Amino acid sequence: MMKERVKRCALLFAGIIAFVACSGILFPEQLSVLTSSKDVVSERVLIPGGQSVGLQMNVKGALIVGVENDTGPQVGDMIIAVNGRKVDSPDDVDKIVSDSGDTVELTVVRDRENLNYRVKPYYDKSSGAYRLGLWIKEKIAGIGTLSFYDPKTNKFASLGHGIYEAETGILLETRSGKLLNTRVNQIKAGEKGTPGELGGVIYDFQNPLGTIEKNTEFGLYGSADDAQDFDLSKPIIMAARSQVEEGDAYILTTIDGTKVERFDIEITRVRHQNHAEGKGMEFEVTDKKLLKTCGGIVQGMSGSPIIQNNRLVGAVTHVFVNNPKKGYGIFAEFMVEECDK
């Protein structure tokens, strides 16, 4: 297996602010607020995240990420058929190749064009099976941060950015996957030019938090297994992107065990975006504890909710490689839109 990596310096980082909770509080489907003379925005009530989560994902399709010989197919090609039979996973490819034992015809997609190659498998004595001499992406695993849970739809969101194949830069499609409980047990602090990293242990595999349904440019999304796994006593209202402003804010994330903590930041720039994009805001960590412990933003914090004026305004997505005190965030509004699709 080729070493799994996460594209760029994307961080797994989550958190959310607690909205004022009352005993027996209800979750209204919508609250309307006038944000300008022209806009009326529907507000969503969400449950903030911030806890570290394990991400296990089976990749959809048969993406080539390495070649042993010059057989024709290239890194980045997606195998869609073997001997004219459609394939949806590496297991499908292996089965057809093993049953053939002779030259097989591969149909691959490259730059939206279908290409056919004849490849002669070789017999691998160690496994007792025929091989193509191609490395095919099968699974990916890592640690990230939960952004929010939506009690209205029973959906969750995490990361705030997509997971890409490291060698090809291709956004991976998910065939299936699980969101799992994780305990943070080590920290590598970030330095200028060297991103830091959170380390953790995934536990309680038999009771996942939810099922990952899609990996998109704006994060991982899926359905929760049990609403009681989330702190329903601390709802928060989502802010429209027009309500986000420069100034004080904070994030929720986990840097010790399973404890979600609040860390202060300052939003230094808000970008005007008319459609869903990443990096909608820039911020700088001002919290002394987070700076001392982690040096700022580190890998593993992507998805951490950003709270301002008692509203969920976004989630952390990336760190400045040359200055770990600074990072980027995506607007919460775009993540909610993606969650609803």
Q: Which residues does the annotation mark as catalytic? A: 161, 287, 302
- Residues facing residue 143 across a β-bridge: 54
Structure tokens at 336: 């909610």
Radius of gyration of the chain (CA): 22
Enter the tokens of residue 64. 């080539």
Q: In whole angstroms, give the CA distance from residue 122 to residue 245.
A: 60
The conformation of residue 194, written as its DSSP 8-state character, comes to B
Q: Which residues contact 239 (CB under 8 A, 6 or more apart)?
A: 308, 309, 311, 312, 313, 332, 333
Alpha-carbon 7 to chain mean position = 11
137: Cβ–Cβ under 8 A, 6 or more apart, which residues?
2, 59, 62, 63, 64, 65, 90, 165, 172
> Which residue carries 């979750």 as its tokens?
27
Q: What whole-number distance in Å separates Cα of residue 174 and Cα of residue 57?
A: 6
In sequence order, which residues have a C-beta less than 8 Å from that of residue 275 and are 6 or more positions away? Answer: none
Strands 323-331 and 311-320, how do they pair? antiparallel
